[in-house]
Amino acid sequence: MIPIVFYGTGLAFISLIFTNIAFFGLHLGFIAKDKGYQRFRTMQKCIPLMIAILGSAFSFKVGNFLYSKFFGWRSFFVPFEQYEKLHHYLNVLSILNIVFSIVPICAVDIYGLYAYKWGSQYYMIQIETLVLSLSVFALTIWEIKK
């Protein structure tokens, strides 16, 4: 049981690091070169830097704040010239996240539910992480379709 849990969780963690590094590369290679982003960066000094750092360190999903108009704030809207291309790149990262992070976590959780008996703390944690993973999966699919 331990090797499956270890390798499944390790794969999910490594893939999260990989997608965050890929977002950092996307930020340097594409986002920072977009003329709309460059104009935005001159007006908003702090927000683009925060999004680049948080998106690279914690989750690439923070990059969605660049075009989301979060709570209607203009600080979170970059008038990208190549918006469709950026959205495509973020969707690819989301699909990679589903395949290499969410699916292994769900597989480990399902296996844990099968291998352990009802009532143990580990069993309860498996239920919690499975519900959270399936919720993230559903929201990611919804985000991709938008």
Give the range of the structural domain holding residue 99, as residue numbers without chain letter: 2-145
Q: Taking 70 as the threshold, does the pLDDT of residue 118 lie above it?
A: yes
Element housing 109 (H / E): helix 103-115
First-to-final CA distance of the chain: 39
Which residues fall within 8 angstroms of residue 37, CB to CB, at 6 or more apart? 31, 48, 66, 78, 80
- Domains in the chain, number: 1
User: Would you put residue 71 in left (φ > 0), alpha (ψ -120 to 50) or beta?
Assistant: left
Long-range contacts of 139-143 (CB under 8 A, 24+ apart): 140/94, 140/97, 140/98, 140/102, 141/98, 143/64, 143/94
HEC secondary structure over 33-66: HCHHHHHHHHHCCHHHHHHHHHHHHCCHHHHHHH
Q: Taking 80 as the threshold, does the pLDDT of residue 34 lie above it?
A: yes
Task: Please give the pLDDT value at position 58.
Answer: 76
Task: Please give the pLDDT value at position 56.
Answer: 74
Q: Taking 70 as the threshold, does the pLDDT of residue 40 lie above it?
A: yes
